[in-house]
Chain A
Amino acid sequence: MRDAPYPERPDPSPQPSPERERGPGASEAGEAGYNFAYLDEGTKRMIRRAILKAIAVPGYQVPFASREMPMPYGWGTGGVQVTAAILGRADVLKVIDQGADDTTNAVSIRRFFARTSGVATTTRTTEATIIQTRHRIPETPLREGQILVYQVPIPEPLRFLEPRETETRQLHALAEYGAMHVKLYEDISRHGHIATTYAYPVEVAGRYVMDPSPTPKFDNPKMDQSPALQLFGAGRERRIYAVPPYTSVRSLDFEDHPFRVQEFTEPCALCGASGHYLDEVVTDDSGGRMYVCSDTDICETRVAEAAR
């Protein structure tokens, strides 16, 4: 773990004693009194059925009966439910929040699954079989067999253009996405370029327009033809959707205003990488700032390799 700018907070709650953690009735590694990966089997079946239909109709939002989770809506309950439904004993789980393994949301979700399922966890993108993410795609290219689970706050890309669910369902049914192009065009007329920088709408497999979750648009190209399976869970809005591996994911744009990602003028201040997504970190109260990789794993790996 790097010590700045995101120090891992010490856990204020007392650790359970080993006996309590492996009390009578406990599964071989999980917390006593809970089913493997927290959810009951009936809930897992329901979520699993939604995932299968989501894969069969790429980019379409499948409704599911989202459960109360031991964390508030907005903290990744959709992603957590998807992860709980697919997780098996042999999986290795990585959880990132804005690219970082060591922020509160990532640490607490990783610990949640370590305690309720006993699966191995990692911060290494290359070692993980399942990566749950909030708002980033790892810089390290994903490979076949890996699953990326996105936490999604608002799954409906048309929601801010049309508030009624009955209407947005019709718009998707008719593949009527003109309003989204008008929104992007209004960006151009007002700012001279498409000013949408995150949750940038994409068209999946030439049919459904999908919200990629609030990832920076910098990450959109990584979704296209990815060898990894991408699953999206929105807990509060009760939707699951998916992009199978090797599927076209096209960011909406215009011929004369093609899609472009952000560019950074300087490399990462810690590892020196260019071409990574960078966070701005304010270092003092007199205007000092530095830019560092948002993906802590690749940054730490590069720093460690350089020190060798």
Chain B
Amino acid sequence: MLAPGFADAVHDAQGTFRAVMDALARPGLLQRLDAGLEPPAPLTSELAAIALALTDADTPVWLDAGLAAAPEVAAYLRFHTGAPLTDDPARAAFALIRDPARCPPLSRFAQGTPAYPDTATTLVLALDAIASGEGLRLTGPGIDGAVRIALTPLPEGFVAQLAENHAGFPLGIDLILTAPGRVAGLPRSIAVTEG
């Protein structure tokens, strides 16, 4: 049987959106995200909540290999959001990534155009854990000085890709990072360095 969506479609969607908005407005600060969803594996509760809150028929969604291999995930997302699924990361408005270690290069997603940088893909990553106060150093709009954030796992070469993504500002993808019960934002406007 198909797993249910939000128990309260209006307020759960609003709560999920506000957590994501706060996360992007204050990059590197962890926000609570608990929508109580139990989607089919390997989709996580956080990825599902963000997909249900933000995607619909107007937003092509790209699934990573692990999610695309599970037909129940596609069925769940199609039923609850109506969003078309796409194989082409450059056409995706949203990309759901269950296995960040095998995420395609960030440059393969839609980067936006100089006149319309808002047409870039928003990537939603499922991580095992996010910790604030240690790890990568973030600076930029939304951050009072600098903050640190540690991502587990941290895919190889990810920091260099993030630096390249930021260097292309105002073009570039935006990241929503999730871990169980948590969400953090990493928009293209943020400079990321190690150490």
Instruction: State whether A170 touches B59 (Cβ < 8 A).
Output: no
Instruction: State whether A48 touches B54 (Cβ < 8 A).
Output: yes
Q: For chain A, what secondary structure do more than half of its interface residues adopt (helix, strand, loop), or is it mixed?
A: mixed
A46 in contact (CB, < 8 A): yes
B180 in contact (CB, < 8 A): no
Q: Give every chain B residue within 8 A of A49 (Cβ-Cβ).
A: 54, 59, 93
- Least CB separation from B143: chain A residue: A246
The proximity string for B residues 108-140 relative to A, scoring 1 for CB distances below 8 Å and 0 otherwise, is 000000111110101000000000000000001
B72 in contact (CB, < 8 A): no
Instruction: State whether A45 touches B15 (Cβ < 8 A).
Output: no
A113 in contact (CB, < 8 A): no
What is the number of contacts between chain A and chain B, taking CB atoms within 8 Å? Answer: 113
- Taking the closest CB of chain A, its distance from the CB of B109, in whole angstroms, is 14
Instruction: State whether B11 touches A55 (Cβ < 8 A).
Output: no
Q: Give every chain A residue within 8 A of B11 (Cβ-Cβ).
A: 36, 88-89
The proximity string for A residues 40-57 relative to B, scoring 1 for CB distances below 8 Å and 0 otherwise, is 011011101111111111
Instruction: State whether A247 touches B21 (Cβ < 8 A).
Output: no
28 contacts between A and B (CB under 8 A): A35-B10, A36-B10, A45-B13, A46-B58, A48-B53, A51-B21, A52-B21, A53-B118, A55-B24, A55-B142, A56-B174, A56-B187, A56-B188, A56-B189, A57-B117, A57-B169, A57-B187, A57-B188, A60-B118, A86-B14, A86-B17, A87-B14, A88-B18, A173-B115, A204-B141, A229-B21, A245-B144, A246-B142
The 10 closest A-B pairs by CB, nearest first: A173-B114, A56-B187, A244-B142, A53-B118, A247-B141, A169-B115, A246-B144, A56-B174, A244-B141, A62-B118
Given contacts A53-B120, A55-B21, A170-B115, 9 further A-B contacts (CB under 8 A): A41-B9, A55-B142, A57-B187, A62-B118, A89-B11, A174-B114, A205-B189, A225-B144, A246-B143
